[in-house]
Structure 1
Amino acid sequence: MEGIEVRELLPSEYKEWDLLVEEAQPGTLFHTSDWLEICRDVLSKDLKIYGCFRNGELVGGCPLFVKNIRGILKVATSTCRMTSYSGPLIKESASTKASKRMQETHEILNPLREFLCKQGFDSIHLTFAPGFEDIRPFTWNGWDSAVHYTHYLYLKENIDSNLSRERQMELKTATEAGLKTRALNDPETYYRLLSLAYEKQKLEPPLPEEFYERVFKLFQEKNIGYMFVSETPEGEAVAAHLNLYGKKCAVIWTAALNPDFAHLGPIAHLYYNEFLDLNSRDFKYMNVMAANIPAFVDFIMGFSPELIPYYSVTLESKKYSIAKTLYKTTRELPLS
């Protein structure tokens, strides 16, 4: 088989990258150039998308955000705030043989790994999307690995029979209070609810308002998702989800809530009605990104989801490991 050439993509080649994201099964919205450019622009990231070519055809690659820390350390990661996974992608194999598919995967990932190791990074952290299972080209070559989790709610199941008693009581409370749900793509409403939720905890929202404005613009221009709200009978939005469309699924990306209305069960109300809405539109499952934080897990388990693993790999230089140890000791070196 022909060799693989790895190089950084030019912005003019991002459309070709997006086609690969669309065709590759583990490809997600978080891989697309639109999403990556929002992260780059709003969060002031240095974005690089590396492509793997065979005879001029793009067959794989990986986006990375690169940061220089005090001119001493050069770190790269495939994720950033509120982007839980991205990482390497490869073109889907046409073979039905497991051995052939594995061979093709490794023939793309091995050159990609070797290329990344030559870029002078002191730390490289890659988080693969759910569904990308074979990370051995990295772990067999000295990279550390970790497992993470998300939850899938399969839409063809009977949601009522899967609800815990606590979620049933919350839904009853929401119904008796007259809460209603609908799609409402209004960034100001969302950010108001988000700010209220974080003010209650004396924290700042995880992303600046501009980030959400850019996401809502994509909702309108490219139909990549929608906002779903729970409202009082008077029409006041009290809770909201921002949902992103994936392959056969919707990703429940982020939630916002007016804490003064939490006792009415609006979040359970949102999940339940999203389930019914997406099922009616022939989606297969909801990807509920709430499996790595214990407080969120306790809530979402009331819907009986399936636990789905995904993986990350990390390679660190000795210099980075020493700096990280010093940081943990002194809390003076900003490594994140």
Structure 2
Amino acid sequence: MSVRVEEVGDGTEWNELLAGSRGGSPFHRYEFLETCARHGDATVHPYVGYKGEEPIGLFPVLEARKGPFTAAFSPPPDLKVPYLGPAPLNAGKLKRGKRERRNRRFVEAVLDRVDREFGPRFVNVRTSPDYDDERPFVWAGYDATPRYTYVLDLTENVEDLRMALNSGVRKSVRERADGFEIAEADLGDVERIIEGAARRHAEKGADYNVTPSFVTDLHDALPDGMVRAHVCRHDGEFCGGEVSLEYDGTVYGWQSYGDLSRSVPVYDLMYWHIFRAAKERGCTAYDLLGANNPDLCRYKAKFSPELRKYQALNRATLDMKAAAKVYKRLR
């Protein structure tokens, strides 16, 4: 039986289906997709695949037009969304062969519909670490590049988590720091965190298109507790913070900033507090969102996280390289 693909325009229906997927994330939430589309000047297509009447997968795709070029993204570009892509449904009890056939037919059906409906000149998909079979994309002519992230297991007891830290971080959290405070952030603090992250990227000559209004809109759109923020102060002065996302027991360390000129180890103390606070809320994992930059990896590895893989998948028409260059100039 062939796979039927439909767009679901009802956010409640989409989120209810998402709750049944092992590959879902906060980035798959309907409200998150709508907010990304609005801030990224794109159109979201929330595709659902059906075999008969049974839903077998979710695959949100965002359509973006720049001049004469049309592109398809999952996740959207420029908004620091690390992964999206397919989220299989009702596959847990299937045998290997049937699960693979279903995954292939679902992915092919969505990609065929994308090509028929808006014919993108290039397509970029980044899967989540929980999506473990990207071969249908490769068989469809996509280039696959492995990407990595770090995930910390929060089910360990606090003492085991502390002992797994790098010795320098252990020393920081053992000695702590006089006058250093961490608390839940309000929206004003969130704005300062995002502005600090923007300055840090500018210092490195890197693009940063996350805005305070984008984060505020996400906070307002998503359910309570899904967007969380912590602010750090030293002797009463703002010195950093983090905006995280929380979904199905996993915390995603999304955007952060720390004042490195301070006499206290802002990042060490901030992350240790956030790990423990997440554990106390009953969370089981913390995704550090990225293990692809050598400099950042040296720091993130100090927490002894697990290395996990996902895939960046790209496909285009023959003029992809030229189109990509023009797109970068126009965006």
Q: TM-score range by the shorter chain?
A: 0.7 to 0.9
Matched, 1:249 2:250: yes
Q: 1:259 to 1:26 in 2, by over 3 A?
A: same
Partner of 1:214: 217
Query: C-alpha separation between the residues in 2 aligned to 1:121 and 1:60?
Result: 22
Query: C-alpha separation between the residues in 2 aligned to 1:4 and 1:100?
Result: 13
Uncovered stretches (5+) of structure 2, i.e. residues with no partner: none
Q: Specify which of 159, 162, 165 is matched with residue 163 of structure 1.
A: 165
Q: Specify which of 230, 233, 239 is matched with residue 231 of structure 1.
A: 233
C-alpha displacement at 1:78, in angstroms? 0.8
Query: C-alpha separation between the residues in 2 aligned to 1:33 and 1:332?
Result: 27
* One-letter amino acid of the counterpart of residue 165, structure 1: S
* One-letter amino acid of the counterpart of residue 257, structure 1: G
What is the number of residues matched between the two proteins?
A: 322
C-alpha displacement at 1:41, in angstroms? 1.6
Partner of 2:74: 78
C-alpha displacement at 1:303, in angstroms? 0.9
C-alpha displacement at 1:42, in angstroms? 2.2
Q: 1:48 to 1:323 in 2, by over 3 A?
A: same
The structure 1 segments of at least 4 consecutive aligned residues displaced by more than 4 Å after TM superposition are 200-205
Matched, 1:14 2:11: yes
1:117-136 pair list within 5 angstroms: 117-119=115-117, 120-136=119-135
Query: C-alpha separation between the residues in 2 aligned to 1:91 and 1:145?
Result: 23
Contact 1:152-1:287 within 8 A present in 2 as well: yes
Greater Cα shift, 138-147 or 112-121: 112-121
Uncovered stretches (5+) of structure 1, i.e. residues with no partner: none
Contact 1:47-1:64 within 8 A present in 2 as well: yes
1:229-275, Cα deviation, whole Å (9 max, x unpaired): 223353x34221112112221111110234443x3112111111122
Matched, 1:54 2:57: no
1:142-166, Cα deviation, whole Å (9 max, x unpaired): 2111111110111133122112122
Partner of 1:104: 102
Q: 1:148 to 1:84 in 2, by over 3 A?
A: same
Relative to the length of structure 2, the TM-score reads 0.88
RMSD: 2.4
Q: 1:134 to 1:196 in 2, by over 3 A?
A: closer
User: The residue matched to 2:15 in structure 1 has which SS?
Assistant: helix
* One-letter amino acid of the counterpart of residue 162, structure 1: A
C-alpha displacement at 1:322, in angstroms? 4.1
Query: C-alpha separation between the residues in 1 aligned to 2:327 and 2:264?
Result: 44
Query: C-alpha separation between the residues in 2 aligned to 1:57 and 1:227?
Result: 38
* One-letter amino acid of the counterpart of residue 24, structure 1: S
User: The residue matched to 1:105 in structure 2 has which SS?
Assistant: helix
1:267-300, Cα deviation, whole Å (9 max, x unpaired): 1111111222222233211111131222221111
Relative to the length of structure 1, the TM-score reads 0.86
